[in-house]
Structure 1
Amino acid sequence: MSDRNTAEYWDPVYDEGRDWRQVCDAEISMFTRYAGPQPGQKALDVGCGTGQLARCLHSLGYDVTGVEVSAAALLKARARSSALGPRWMQHDIQDGPPPGIAPASMDVVSFRLSFQFLTGKKQILDMARGLLRPGGLVYLVLPVLERETLPAGRRSSALPAARITDLCRGWRVDRWELGWLDHLILRSP
């Protein structure tokens, strides 16, 4: 298991106040265009952090469960959400599907700036596929190594473009770029 996919790694990061790139209007607009959300659909936001995407999905009408390995991140997600917002669950997706999430029960499984930290990426995508209802989709937001610019000394988590293409084999893919990030909608063929 990656040393960057544990509560021991992430809790201090979130306790120090770090957060991820905010969900922007362009991202939501493109997601809505490609995903066509319908009220009452179910979404699982894996590696939800402080819940930015989960709250956006909820505002689009999804019934959302946010899953995160870090208790510190989930405290912030809960504090930033209403009681009627997403549900939050501490779970490491590398241990298997979250408890209570049945096969073929999700319309969306999202990994926004979290997938790159996981080991066994193909197996995780297979698990996500198994959680999708017919017509469901996986939403990935990934930093692309060839387009990333980091200050000196920062440890990159970006994936090479060729690796991202390889991970998408066996899926129908809609893709758009926003800066150094690839946004991918994956559907079963």
Structure 2
Amino acid sequence: MDWSEHYNEGRGFRRLGAEEKGLLVEHAPAPEDGRALDIGCGTGELAVYLASLGYIVDGADFAQGALERARAEHAGVKGVRWLSLDVELDDLAEDGYALIVLRLAIAFILDRTRVLRAPT
């Protein structure tokens, strides 16, 4: 599947729901200066929500169409950095994250063991 084409055609995935938001608020409150990584961020809805909770967020996707939409749709949002990154192939040269989310993305990762065990 060509994911950039998917996003360039205006398509997306299921919207972030109230229950999901509530679970994040309850179970993953942002620590002071807490960093979050949203793997497979798509158009950025979750990354932006995490930023609203106080996280400094890296929204990562390998689909350029997704990142283009995320940048355009959330241009004024502070606290989110949009990264072109394939978590199966690329390394993160970062100091780590307080929270890593893979909302709706885990099913598309072929080497889940390597990705989930990789140091971040």
TM-score (norm 2): 0.91
Question: RMSD across aligned C-alpha pairs, in angstroms?
Answer: 1.4
Q: How does 1:114-133 map to 2 (within 5 A)?
A: 114-127=105-118, 130-131=119-120
Indicate the percent of aligned positions where both proteins have the same amino acid.
32
- Other-structure match for 2:101: 110
Deviation track 1:117-147 (CA, whole Å, cap 9, x = no partner) reads 01111111101xx22xxxxxxxxxxxxxxxx
Alpha-carbon offset, residue 36 of structure 1: 2.6
Corresponding letter in the other structure for 1:114: A
Q: Whole-Å Cα distance in 1 between the matches of residues 49 and 107 of structure 2?
A: 21
Counterpart secondary structure, 2:33? coil
Q: Which stretches in structure 1 are left out of the alignment for 5+ residues?
A: 132-189
Counterpart secondary structure, 1:79? helix
Which of 17, 41, 49 is 1:24 aligned to? 17
* Residue 95 of structure 1 pairs with residue 89 of structure 2: yes
Alpha-carbon offset, residue 83 of structure 1: 5.1
Q: Whole-Å Cα distance in 2 between the matches of residues 87 and 46 of structure 1?
A: 12
* Residue 45 of structure 1 pairs with residue 38 of structure 2: yes
Larger Rg: 1
Alpha-carbon offset, residue 116 of structure 1: 0.7
TM-score (norm 1): 0.59
Q: Whole-Å Cα distance in 1 between the matches of residues 27 and 78 of structure 2?
A: 26
Deviation track 1:61-84 (CA, whole Å, cap 9, x = no partner) reads 000011100111101100121152
Q: Whole-Å Cα distance in 2 between the matches of residues 39 and 59 of structure 1?
A: 13
Q: Is the 8 A contact 1:64 1:86 kept in 2?
A: yes
Alpha-carbon offset, residue 37 of structure 1: 2.2
* Residue 34 of structure 1 pairs with residue 23 of structure 2: no
User: CA, structure 1 residues 39+22, in 2 after alignment: closer, same or farther (shift >3 Å)?
Assistant: farther
Q: Is the 8 A contact 1:39 1:60 kept in 2?
A: no
Q: After TM superposition, what 4+ stretches of structure 1 lie above 4 angstroms from structure 2?
A: none
Which of 8, 23, 47 is 1:15 aligned to? 8
Q: How many residues align?
A: 119
Which of 43, 65, 70 is 1:72 aligned to? 65
Deviation track 1:3-48 (CA, whole Å, cap 9, x = no partner) reads x4xxxx1011001111111111211111221123234210011110
